[in-house]
Chains A and B, each alone.
Chain A
Amino acid sequence: MWAYFTRRVLIAIPTLWVVITVAFFLMRLAPGGPFDQEAPLPPEIMANLKAAYGLDQPLWWQYLNYLGGLLQGDFGPSFKYKDFTVTELIGQGFPVSIQNGVAALTLTILIGIPLGAMAALRQNSSADHAAMTVAMTGIVIPNFVVGPLLALVFGIWLKETVFALPVGGWNNGAFENRILPVICLALPFIAYVARITRASLIETLRTNYVRTARAKGLPFRMVVLRHAFKTAMIPVVTYLGPATVFLLTGSMVIETIFSLPGIGRYFVQGALNRDYTLVMGVTILAASLVIFLNLFVDLAYAWLDPKVRYE
């Protein structure tokens, strides 16, 4: 088990290196550069800027230089947010995204799984249809519609009531400020987890071993919780791994709608601005999370299904 864990962590290093390399060169393939503006800069100034950031060097040299910096924990300066290093930008934004992400993930698990399980146990009842209709709605309505709708309801219609909620700003992570963005972030994930849980549990309830458990005279509640539930969670865990990466790294749409200082916006803005180092920084962060969570999911499989063994 520990040997497996160590090996997976070691494999992560070349994986990350490949991600870094591909991202580095892909970024440079995109036309334009970080200092291109509508009104072109005088050539002398442009040359000076490029020299200051090392962009006048050959590409392979820039690449080696960047890797060398990474090895020392230096993600470089941001090209667009002057006076900030990438480490500082991520250091400021990531805690915001993480806090909302963890809250949304908790809601996803605490609401999505019981909702799906309830629907599965009352398959084809009106409760099942209602839950699945709501879940489908949650999946198909994009968050750039849900966000403003929530803002409209809780910020304007309910403005004079006790239900009024702030519709923007971080406010040092105040609870009220986080309610709407977290709901908006979690909604499609709750819906998806509910649907996966339902389908998976229905399938598990049809297995031979659930029939055996019923033939043993166990109360149905025990049959479900003890004999069916663990196996039914396998697809849910598979889905939650990558979903967690998305939740933790923030959503550009939600951070824009609710004016949150998270890092989701850096993915898009960084790429549009050709802010090479910032894009690399968030890419490395996301890739590391993907690698870590995949490892976590694989370890969870071994717990859910003893047939899975890692040596």
Chain B
Amino acid sequence: MSTVLEINHLTVSFDTPDGAVQAVNDVSLLVEEGECVGLVGESGSGKSQTFMAAMGLLADNATVSGAIHFEGSNLLTANEKELNKLRGERIAMIFQDPMTSLTPHMKIGRQLAEVLIEHRGVGKAEARKQARAMLERVHFPEAERRLDMYPHELSGGLRQRVMIAMALMCEPAMLIADEPTTALDVTVQAQILDLLMEIKDSLGTAIVLITHDLGVVAGLADRVAVMYGGRIVEKGAVADMFESPAHPYTQGLLACTPRLDEDITALVTIPGQPPNAQSLPGGCSFHPRCTYVTERCKAERPILETTAKYRAKACHLDALEAAE
């Protein structure tokens, strides 16, 4: 397998009137050809901003450092023109809210076709034909008739299918799905996830799945990275991680996920609040909420250490246990 995307020591901060906000801190991540990588974390953990940086879609007040390599170019240093050649063509993104992510005054057929017209220079009629074909590919019913509909005439699930079809128009090497099912009904969520799965298998598109829902990741991802306070705190193959989570935060997240095969008396939560990106706690960012917290956790930030193939964690816990 060859590497599609390589994020090296990415740091993103936002300049706000209240001071700098560290959204992403020293994040490194690999995405390989045709695999699905899940990126999990709470709101504000920096998971979306990591890939907004890759797409060149960060807000104007953002400062970035590090490197993001995609098919030989560094996306962080590419100019708008170079980015536009890749965006929509080699690397595509779908967003959380399909209700507001399509242009309200344009028919969906035109919104789909313009991707091809822009990147491939095909004619209008041909682009429309391919748009219809792509809609059918994402199981969009009555595609021909609906090409001339406006987004508000479609349901949320259908709109998300339009978003996915639009992202796939040029058969990109990588698809970034930022909370693709969060705004949808549970039954529709399952359909959309099935579709993403199908795309990965049939088109060989690498998928990055950004979500706060571990259930989504469990069903779809090959590998998972967990983010907390702008850093990756643990990563590994999905079965491995769910079997034996090594970081207390991952353990907490898994404990919080209600399971169908157990009787639930009360919903479990991780005590405390997600950290404020403006004033992250010293040492390990998770220490104020961690049940195993030690003096060392408060003073020294654990580095992300590779423990096995694909497996890494940033926690002092093991070291402590070994010392005891």
Contacts and interface: CB of A to CB of B under 8 A. Distances in A.
Interface string B163-186: 100100000000000000000000
Interface string A229-255: 011000000000000000000000000
Given A218-B84, A218-B114, A306-B150, A212 B163 contact: yes
Contacts of B118: 216-219, 222
B246 to A, nearest CB: 35
A219 B101 contact: no
A220 B163 contact: no
B139 interface: no
Contact of A211 (B88, B101, B115): B101
Interface in A198-212: 207-209, 211-212
A213 interface: yes
A209 B150 contact: no
B95 A208 contact: yes
A214 interface: yes
Nearest to A228: B103
B95 A217 contact: no
Interface in B109-147: 114-115, 118-119
A131 interface: no
A219 B80 CA distance: 8
Contact of B105 (A211, A212, A222, A306): A306
A212 B80 contact: no
Given A208-B95, A220-B80, A215 B55 contact: yes
Interface in A38-77: none
Contact of A307 (B80, B92, B104, B114): B104
A212 B104 contact: no
B207 interface: no
Contact of A216 (B104, B114, B152): B114
Interface string B66-94: 00000000000000110111111100110
A226 interface: yes
Q: Residue among B85, B105, B106, B115 with the most chain A CB within 10 A?
A: B105
B105 A217 contact: no
A305 interface: yes
A212 B112 CA distance: 12
Nearest to B107: A306
Interface string A284-311: 0000000000000000000011110000
Q: How many interface residues does chain B have, given as a range?
A: 20 to 34
A205 to B, nearest CB: 10
B105 A216 contact: no
B97 interface: yes
B85 A217 contact: yes
A290 to B, nearest CB: 27
A306 B102 CA distance: 13
B100 interface: yes
Nearest to A234: B105
B103 A227 contact: yes
Given A207-B100, A230-B105, A305-B105, A217 B166 contact: no
Contacts of B81: 219
B57 interface: yes
Contact of A208 (B55, B88, B100): B100
A217 B91 CA distance: 9
A215 B87 contact: yes
Nearest to A211: B57
B113 to A, nearest CB: 11
Interface string A94-138: 000000000000000000000000000000000000000000000
Interface in B278-297: none
Nearest to B84: A217
A220 B106 CA distance: 17
A22 B89 CA distance: 64
Interface of A: 207-209, 211-220, 222, 226-227, 230-231, 304-307
Interface of B: 55, 57, 80-81, 83-89, 92-93, 95, 97, 100-106, 114-115, 118-119, 150, 152, 163, 166
Given A217-B87, A227-B103, 9 more contacts: A211-B95, A212-B101, A212-B163, A215-B57, A215-B92, A215-B93, A216-B92, A217-B119, A218-B114
6 contacts: A208-B101, A209-B103, A215-B88, A216-B87, A217-B84, A307-B150
